[in-house]
């Protein structure tokens, strides 16, 4: 399906990864409840390949962590597209992002890492729809030892 957001993705030269089903728990990759679409936490993977295994501050720089966050956000968008039957124009607002960064105890720049996801949402959906509330946390352990996980809540029509 082609629309405004699809045209924007093409204009930006952005390809989305495949929206893979969750591996571990009996959960859904996304869930629509009333006017909200909730996308489960997405790790930095590209069609099953996980290039960001380790901690930001030890194995990756803050800039590399932001790249990992962007990849997580691409997976979030892929899951949103799947849930919305291919029509990303149904997104009225990116309501909130939550980012969890696998960090060393001394790394304080967790917000800068998650900026990679936030900036992608604004680039893809535009300032009015893509600007969002956000929670960021630095954590000591992550599933599969990934560097970051990002989840999102969308208002949809």
Please name which of 149, 2, 3, 156 lies closest in space to residue 76, comparing C-alpha atoms: 149
Cα gap 145→140, rounded to integer Å? 10
* Closest listed residue to residue 109, CA positions, set 155, 38, 55, 152: 55
Tens digits of pLDDT across the chain (157 residues): 579 999 999 999 999 999 999 887 789 999 999 999 999 999 999 999 999 999 999 999 999 999 999 999 999 999 999 999 999 999 999 999 999 999 999 999 999 999 999 999 999 999 999 999 999 999 999 999 999 999 999 999 9
The residue extents of the domains of the chain are 4-14+29-156
Whose tokens are 């208002």? That residue is 155
Calpha distance 69→78 (Å, rounded): 14
CA angle 82, 84, 90 (to 5 degrees): 140
Q: What is the pLDDT of residues 112-129, one digit of tens each?
A: 999 999 999 999 999 999
Domain 4-14+29-156 class, CATH top level: alpha beta
């Amino acid at each position: 399906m082609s629309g405004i957001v699809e045209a924007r993705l093409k204009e930006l030269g952005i390809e989305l990864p495949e929206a893979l089903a969750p591996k571990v728990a009996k959960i859904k990759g996304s869930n629509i409840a009333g006017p909200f679409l909730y996308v489960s936490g997405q790790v930095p993977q590209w069609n099953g390949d996980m290039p960001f295994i380790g901690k930001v501050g030890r194995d990756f720089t803050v800039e590399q962590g932001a790249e990992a966050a962007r990849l997580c956000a691409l997976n979030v968008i892929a899951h949103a597209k799947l849930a919305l039957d291919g029509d990303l124009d149904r997104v009225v607002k990116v309501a909130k992002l939550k980012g969890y960064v696998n960090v060393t105890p001394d790394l304080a720049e967790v917000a800068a890492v998650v900026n990679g996801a936030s900036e992608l949402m604004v680039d893809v959906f535009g300032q009015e729809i893509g600007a969002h509330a956000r929670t960021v946390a630095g954590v000591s352990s992550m599933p599969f030892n990934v560097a970051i996980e990002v989840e999102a809540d969308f208002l949809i029509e």
